[in-house]
């Protein structure tokens, strides 16, 4: 019995973890740190615990049988919970590209699947190896894959919009729910659903990575050049003659000289850190190992100190005119938190 359990654990838990590691390895830019992956796995696990109670309550409330519930209600509950973590991260500008949306989405699904399968291992010790093949290579990968696909679709719809809109997340959520429901429609043919997952998921993710990494490379080169010009303008004083510069100057004139200096110091330091983040990403693409330095940490501490001095109201007024994209903000987040 003990040896059977030792065999079941890696089959039930291993495939989804291995696939997540493969995705993280395929990301040549290392957009998502292990720290972020760990947090999102933990978040997905917590959601699996929450979904157990929610699903039980919903089944009692709806008075439906398990098969109907698993096909039409459970996918809505579980995919909405998992999507919630990504929506929060999108709203905080912690996700900027399709690649990191896919990795973080799959990490959330991984945490969810690990907790769910551990619970099943504990509750059904008599289950045979075939059950764990289905749960490990099918159900677990499905949980990771649907959330990853939600992340990719959400990123593609929101990357051009700086303002938060719930509407942009609904198509991706709908697709994730449909895929989850389709998987659950084959309780009598679980091997078919598992094989479909094993074929469709890797192909989809590898296509997303191939397309996205090419786009990231082009975007980085252009954005890096633009930020170099912006930094030169800030240092030379030419920035004040631009449209954004004139707005900042008009706003700054409402404050005293010290406050004006703090605003322009903030803009310069922010631009320098974005450039530093983009330098690291381009170096990682070439295979060079890059990590945040103590100097980077000191600069972030200085940046946050300036944010507090300038004040939230002034910053909210400034941001729309500075055109800092969510990609740039996500670069800063990963530079600050990369472990």
Tell me the per-residue pLDDT of 131-157, one tens digit each, with 9 for 90 and over.
Answer: 889 999 999 999 999 999 999 999 999
What is the DSSP track for 167-222? GGGHHHHHHHHHHHHHHHT-TT-HHHHHHHHHHHHHHHHHHHHHHHHHHHHHHHHH
Is 221 a domain residue?
no
pLDDT band at 321 (very low <50, low <70, confident <90, very high): low
Residues 162 and 20 in one domain: yes
Residues 203 and 259 in one domain: no
pLDDT greater at residue 325 or residue 277 = 277
Is 214 a domain residue?
no
Residues 162 and 244 in one domain: no
pLDDT band at 165 (very low <50, low <70, confident <90, very high): confident
Q: Does the structure show a pLDDT above 80 at 174?
A: yes
Residues 83 and 174 in one domain: yes
Is 223 a domain residue?
no
pLDDT band at 128 (very low <50, low <70, confident <90, very high): confident
Report pLDDT for 1: 56
Report pLDDT for 82: 98
Is 39 a domain residue?
yes
Residues 162 and 264 in one domain: no
Residues 59 and 155 in one domain: yes
Q: Residue 248 in contact with residue 263, Cβ under 8 Å?
A: yes
Mean pLDDT of 62-82: 96
Is 259 a domain residue?
yes
Residues 174 and 280 in one domain: no
Q: Residue 143 in contact with residue 113, Cβ under 8 Å?
A: yes
Q: How far is CA 24 from the centre of its chain?
A: 12
Domain of residue 182 covers 2-209
Residues 177 and 298 in one domain: no
Residues 180 and 266 in one domain: no
Q: Does the structure show a pLDDT above 90 at 23?
A: yes
Residues 159 and 96 in one domain: yes
Is 231 a domain residue?
no
Mean pLDDT of 112-141: 90
Report pLDDT for 253: 66
Residues 180 and 270 in one domain: no
Residues 163 and 250 in one domain: no
Report pLDDT for 339: 54
Considering its fold, how many domains does the chain have in total?
A: 2
Is 120 a domain residue?
yes
Is 30 a domain residue?
yes
């Amino acid at each position: 019995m003990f040896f059977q359990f030792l065999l079941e654990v890696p089959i039930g838990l291993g495939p989804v973890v291995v696939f997540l590691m493969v995705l993280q390895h395929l990301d040549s830019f290392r957009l998502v740190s292990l720290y972020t992956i760990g947090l999102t796995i933990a978040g997905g696990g917590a959601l699996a615990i929450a979904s157990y109670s929610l699903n039980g309550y919903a089944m009692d409330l709806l008075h439906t049988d398990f098969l109907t519930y698993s096909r039409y209600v459970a996918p809505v509950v579980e995919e909405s919970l998992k999507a919630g973590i990504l929506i929060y991260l999108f709203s905080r500008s912690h996700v900027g590209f399709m690649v990191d949306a896919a990795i973080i989405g799959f990490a959330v699904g991984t945490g969810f699947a690990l907790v769910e399968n551990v619970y099943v291992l504990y509750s059904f010790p008599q289950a045979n190896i075939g059950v764990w093949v289905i749960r490990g290579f099918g159900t677990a990968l499905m949980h990771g894959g649907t959330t990853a696909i939600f992340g990719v679709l959400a990123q593609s719809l929101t990357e051009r919009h700086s303002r938060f809109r719930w509407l942009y997340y609904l198509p991706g959520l709908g697709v994730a729910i449909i895929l989850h429901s389709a998987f659950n429609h084959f309780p009598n043919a679980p091997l078919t659903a598992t094989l479909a997952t094993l074929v469709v998921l890797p192909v989809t993710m590898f296509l997303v990575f191939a397309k996205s990494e090419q786009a990231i490379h082009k975007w980085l080169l252009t954005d890096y050049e633009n930020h170099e010009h912006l930094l030169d303008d800030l240092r030379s004083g030419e920035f004040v003659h631009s449209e954004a510069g004139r707005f900042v100057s008009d706003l700054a004139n409402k404050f005293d000289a010290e406050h004006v200096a703090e605003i322009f110091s903030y803009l310069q330091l922010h631009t320098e850190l974005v450039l530093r983040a983009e330098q690291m990403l381009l170096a990682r693409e070439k295979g060079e190992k890059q990590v945040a330095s103590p100097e980077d940490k000191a600069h972030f501490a200085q940046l946050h100190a300036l944010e507090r001095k300038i004040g939230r109201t002034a910053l909210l007024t400034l941001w729309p005119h500075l055109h800092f994209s969510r990609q740039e903000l996500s670069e800063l987040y990963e530079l600050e938190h990369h472990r």
